[in-house]
Amino acid sequence: MERKSTATPTTTITRDVKALSAEVGNIYETVVIIAKRANQIAADMKQELENKLQDFKLYNDNLEEVSENKEQIEVSRYYERMPKPTLKAIKEFEEGKVKFRNPLQAKEI
């Protein structure tokens, strides 16, 4: 598959909240930044999965016929095993790969 596999954990781990929010200075703003990035990642993953599954789509008039394609199942399983978007967003935030700005603070300057 095309996605690059990083060292993102596939399960939830305990994190130091103070260290996580040190760059922003506010844990709530940190959570919003991570949540917005996770939404972007989820949307990208969903679009990519839909594009790959579109190749397997059959246009049948009969709804009772359901065909199973092993390749389609493998693609779906691959995406199910991938780390969740929230975990990827946290990893990117910790590594400093997420760019953000606060428009309210920009107006004050």
Q: What is the pLDDT of residues 27-62, one digit of tens each?
A: 999 999 999 999 999 999 999 999 988 877 766 545
| Residue 59 pLDDT | 61
pLDDT bucket at 4, cuts 50 / 70 / 90:
low
Q: What's the pLDDT score for residue 68? A: 67
| Dihedral class, residue 25 (left if φ above 0, else alpha if ψ from -120 to 50, else beta) | left
105 vs 37: which has the higher pLDDT? 37
pTM of the full structure? 0.76
Question: What is the four-CA torsion angle of 19, 40, 85, 3, rounded to 10 degrees?
Answer: -120
pLDDT at 71: 83
Percent of the chain with pLDDT over 70: 81
- Determine the Cα–Cα distance for residues 13 and 88; give it in Å rounded to an integer: 12
Residue 38: closest CA among 106, 79, 89: 89
**pLDDT of amino acid 12:** 74
